Amino acid sequence: MNTKRIVILLALLIIGAGCAFFGAVTGTILTMNFVNNQQPSSELSTLPQAATSEPNQLFVDNSNIETTITRVVNQVEPAVVTVVGTVSGRVSFFGVSPDQEVSGSGVIISESGYILTNNHVVEGTDDLNVIFNDGSNRSADLISRDIFSDLAVLKIDGPIPAVAKFGNSDNLKPGESVIAIGSPLGTFRNSVTVGVISATGRSIDSGKGYSMDDLIQTDAAINQGNSGGPLVNLAGEVIGINTLVIRGSGSATNAEALGFSVPSNTAQKISQEIINNGYFARPYFGAAYQSITPRMASFYDLPVNWGIYITDVGSNTPAKQAGLRQGDIITKIGDFPIDETHSFVNALFNYEANQTIQLELIRNNQTITTEITLGEVTYQ
C-alpha cells in the first residue's frame, strides 16, 4: 500500500470517528434540551389527547415542584408545634423513678388555640407544653382524646401564629405528592420530609382488640417525634395526621418507608366534636367478651369460627337491657358480620352512640336476632 493511500484511509477513519463522536455528543445535548425546553408545570403535565400528533409525555419540572414545596412549608410550618409532656415518676419497691419527658408534634387547627395531636403523645402525661416554630413555648391543656383513632385535642391561650387548613382526604389518590412536617426525636423541630401517597384505606392491627382503619399510607419519612404532625398536600392543606410507622423486625421482615396517617376527614370530625362538646362519644356495648378464632372454635368445639363469646354482662348496661347472657355468641352487628376482616370493635364503630341496631347471635345452638340500643362512652 503506497503512502498516499495510507494517508487517505487514516483521514477517512478520523473523519468517521469524529462524526460518531459528534453525533453522540449532539444526541446527548438534544435530549437535554428536549427535556429542559418543556413547558413548566406545577406538578405533572397531563397526557395529550390521542388525536394530537404530539407524543405522550409525562414530565416533571423539578424547579417548579421545589418552589411549590417551599411555598407550602412556609405556609403551614408556623401552625406546626412540638408537643412536650411530663410523665411523673412512679413509686415502686425500689423507690420513686424519675420524671420522664415525652414529645411529639401537633398542628394548630383553630384561631381559638385548639391543637390536634396523637393520643399516644399525651397519654399518661401530667403537664403539657407546646413549642412554636420560632422557639417560644406555652403551656397547654388536654381537652379530650379518642384512643381508637389515636387523636387528642389540646388548647393554648394567647396569640396564635397560624392556623392550618384541612383538605378533603376522600379525594386522595396513590402517587400524589405529600409533605410531612414534625419534630423527629423531639429535637429536630419542624423537620420536613417529602414523599407520595402509597395507598389509602389501609388497616393496621392495634394489638388491643381493634384495628385502625382507613389509614393513609405514605413513603414520606415519619419518625419518633413526628407523631401528631400534619401530612400536607401541595395545596397546603392538611390531609392526614401522622400516627405510626412500621419498620418490621428481623432481617427477613425489615421494612422502609411505611408511614401511616389518620385521614383528615376523620381527624376533622373527631376534633370538631371534641371542640364543640368537650369529648368524642363512641358507642358503648356493656359486656365482657372473648373473640372467637378458628383455632379457639376448634379447641372448644364452638359452632362458629368467628364472633365473640360473652363472658359477662354488666348491670344496667345496653347489653343487659337487650337481654344478652353469658355464653351468647354474637356473630353479626347490624350489617357487619364479625370475622377476620371485621373485629367486634370496628363493626361496632360503624354505628353511633344511642343508635338502635340488630344483633345476630347463637344461644343454645339456636340462631336468634335481637335489638340493642347502644350507649355512650368517652375518654377524657
Query: What are the residue numbers of the active site?
Result: 120, 150, 227
What nine digits make up the cell of 240?
392526614
CA atoms within 13 A on the CB side of 76: 31
User: If you search the block for the grid coordinates 353479626, which residue do you land on?
Assistant: 332
Cβ within 8 Å of residue 185, ≥6 positions away = 223, 224, 225
Cα(58)–Cα(45) distance, integer angstroms = 6
What sign for the dihedral angle of Cα 145, 343, 222, 201? negative
**What's the alpha-carbon Rg for the chain, to the nearest Å?**
29
The DSSP call for residue 202 is: E
H helix or E strand, kind and range, residue 372: strand 366-373
Pairing of strands 114-117, 151-155: antiparallel
Task: Indicate the residue type of 339.
Answer: D
Pairing of strands 165-166, 237-245: parallel
- CA-nearest of 255, 270, 296 to 148 is 270
**Coil, strand or helix: which one is 188?**
coil
